[in-house]
Structure 1
């Protein structure tokens, strides 16, 4: 049995959904289909989720929502019309869209979560209707029906692993395709709460593990995961297979094809993942598998970069001799509800790297003020924009000269590094770099290793 997930670009319009229907019909093992909200149909289009968030903002501001409601309805109606689905089949979707603004929510965050989740929630209902209309038995499965529980973090929820028991009880014995909306679950209070953006991947992985699937297929708009971002290097090498840990490292650092948190349920359940292209379903795609199944041909599997980071540099003499020094800093971060990403250090200094998308300016100002007052460093510097490059590969484990192959081409291009850190697993090397040099450094490293 396969769990098959489709992203927003695969469901953006009727033509794309026809391809999805053909893919599902072609393989009876594709029993469970996890769907995203309709994505962009063209470059300057808007995703349905973004339309719903605009609807939420207008509702909170008590503005006229007539136009935005009609725009959202039209997106679903245009897909239904492509398949000649009768209008009465869409009446309940229209009512649900209008009802969103009339419901009571226990906080603004839960209002936003509910509006955003309805992109997937409505689309899964529509797709089930269309599949039945086309002659393929299908049933919409509300995450509430299978007890897909999450914690009370409305817009960045964490899955409750106790839910695997109820998910595993889902009946797969019929010929029906089960259509499950991605991206959200329910709190124990019955409120919708969403995973972080792109969280439909997480739902797909949860379903695959809960149902003990043989394979989790993740259909997107590329035929493989590439060793480097194609916008940096033309025609980069395709990755045929990679390990769970490699994918997680690369996703974290900028590979947007697959959500980094979605790897965890797959790892825990030993579920193989296949990234495939909706527009080229016969292409083999990329397999993400346990390390024992991968045969390494290169030391490096992939190179990813992201400029979404910021850093705090702190210098104080004899820092390494002060018991509890780092603990005091961590207590300040906890006080201001700040998590950090990495903390490389020396004998007299340390750097704390943050995901700046998770910070407010107020948090930063308060954190710096408290560190200056309580820690009294000799130097305290905030770096608001910080680039990170991750060079990842199981083949680097115990490989002599791996770092030289990565750093040497940067020296030739006169690119300096602000930080170098190798993980204990030895499969990744992290480079800190000025954001404006990040792409050039990635291209240099790729050229040296892959060409």
Structure 2
């Protein structure tokens, strides 16, 4: 049994639906299909999810929202008409949108989740109808029917352990099952969406729950590349990559696969294949538990912006028992998670995402650090980017750090911080965010000189 997930670009139009239909019907092992909402048809287009967010914003603001609702319906109307599906499919979509507005209009967070989830939910119904029409018996399966039980935090759902046992029962079904991505249902029967990359998360959860032989994630690229192809002309194409390597790259800004989406398939050791909907016969990139070592120490290079560093200085900090714990407790009290904590004998830094220090949290944290930790100095350094060099082969290769730092120095990129995990699968460099792209390009040239 294979679980196949199709992203928004793969379902942006009727023509794309036809490609997906051929992909699903070409392999009888493709028994479960997870769909995103229709994405962009062209560069200037608006994603269906963004149309739904605009609709929700207008309802929340008590504005006239009929035009915004019809914009959403029009996206589906174009697809339904092209595929020559029954008019009842489109009428049901509009009816369900109005029902969700009426049900949740007095609860802003629930309304936003319910309408955002509509993109995937209604697209799954269209896909099931189209597959059945073209000779592949298929059924729409709502997340509550499937057993996608999640926590009850709007916009930040987490799968509950008991969901996996319920999902496994779907193996008994004989037809192709079409499940909407991006959301689940809480025990309180609320619609709750996953964070960014939600459809990838759904696909991974379903593949793990069904103990699938393969999770195929169809997108708009032929494979995963060593670096953002928008930055270099001929990036190295990766045929195989481990879960650990992909997790590090996804965390660092790789847009192909969301980092949180890997955990379910890692635990069940379900192999993942990234493939292109427009070129389905190409092999794509396999993500596996282990791979045969090769001569290339570095698999990929990625960067992400939006970080800051809280820098503390205190004489003899290294001898003060519990100092680090106390600092992290201050962050915990504000509900903040940290990314990295490089330190010296008299100083320590905590790397955070900037978005976490909003709504007065920054002032409260700095005040507590000064009062409770009695530091000589504390300051915040903003506009940082994290550049990650990733590869299982780094642990067996001498000189990787030297080559990386030399490449950055030759490019004139100042290194603010260096951090390497104990597994030696990745090496991270903190740089000014304005130099992030230059850093990635210089590192790519150093480790892939012929590309």
TM-score, length of structure 1 as denominator length: 0.97
Please state whether the residue corresponding to 2:247 is helix, strand or coil: helix
After TM superposition, the structure 1 stretch with the greater mean CA deviation from structure 2, 107-116 or 147-156, is: 107-116
2:109 and 2:342 map into 1 onto residues whose CA distance is 34
Please state whether the residue corresponding to 1:135 is helix, strand or coil: coil
What 5-or-longer segments of structure 2 have no aligned partner? Answer: none
Residue 410 of structure 1 is aligned with which of 408, 411, 432? 408
1:444 and 1:274 map into 2 onto residues whose CA distance is 29
CA positional deviation for 1:173:
4.8
Query: Does residue 386 of structure 1 match 2:378?
Result: no
User: Given that residues 9 and 221 in structure 1 are in contact (C-alpha distance below 8 angstroms), is that contact kept between their aligned partners in structure 2?
Assistant: yes
Q: How many residues align?
A: 449
User: Given that residues 104 and 110 in structure 2 are in contact (C-alpha distance below 8 angstroms), is that contact kept between their aligned partners in structure 1?
Assistant: no
User: Which residue does the alignment assign to 1:247?
Assistant: 246
1:373 and 1:345 map into 2 onto residues whose CA distance is 21
1:221 and 1:284 map into 2 onto residues whose CA distance is 14
Summarize the Cα distance change of 1:171–1:416 in structure 2 as closer, same or farther, 3 Å threshold: closer
2:311 and 2:416 map into 1 onto residues whose CA distance is 11
1:15 and 1:172 map into 2 onto residues whose CA distance is 32
1:422-446: CA deviation from partner (whole Å, max 9, x where unpaired): 1011110011111111111111111
1:257 and 1:28 map into 2 onto residues whose CA distance is 26
2:89 and 2:146 map into 1 onto residues whose CA distance is 24
User: Which residue does the alignment assign to 2:163?
Assistant: 163
Summarize the Cα distance change of 1:333–1:106 in structure 2 as closer, same or farther, 3 Å threshold: farther
CA positional deviation for 1:203:
0.7
User: Which residue does the alignment assign to 2:288?
Assistant: 289
After TM superposition, the structure 1 stretch with the greater mean CA deviation from structure 2, 282-291 or 397-406, is: 397-406
TM-score, length of structure 2 as denominator length: 0.97
User: Which residue does the alignment assign to 1:132?
Assistant: 132
What 5-or-longer segments of structure 1 have no aligned partner? Answer: none
User: Given that residues 242 and 294 in structure 1 are in contact (C-alpha distance below 8 angstroms), is that contact kept between their aligned partners in structure 2?
Assistant: no
User: Which residue does the alignment assign to 2:276?
Assistant: 277
2:151 and 2:294 map into 1 onto residues whose CA distance is 39
User: Which residue does the alignment assign to 2:55?
Assistant: 55
After TM superposition, the structure 1 stretch with the greater mean CA deviation from structure 2, 116-125 or 84-93, is: 84-93
User: Given that residues 388 and 432 in structure 1 are in contact (C-alpha distance below 8 angstroms), is that contact kept between their aligned partners in structure 2?
Assistant: yes
Please state whether the residue corresponding to 2:256 is helix, strand or coil: coil
Query: Does residue 211 of structure 1 match 2:219?
Result: no
CA positional deviation for 1:374:
2.3
Query: Does residue 37 of structure 1 match 2:5?
Result: no
User: Which residue does the alignment assign to 1:312?
Assistant: 310
User: Which residue does the alignment assign to 2:424?
Assistant: 426
CA positional deviation for 1:320:
0.7
CA positional deviation for 1:106:
7.9
Once superposed, which parts of structure 1, at least 4 consecutive aligned residues long, lie more than 4 Å away?
A: none
2:416 and 2:328 map into 1 onto residues whose CA distance is 23
2:130 and 2:420 map into 1 onto residues whose CA distance is 50
Match runs of 1:262-273 below 5 Å: 262-273=261-272
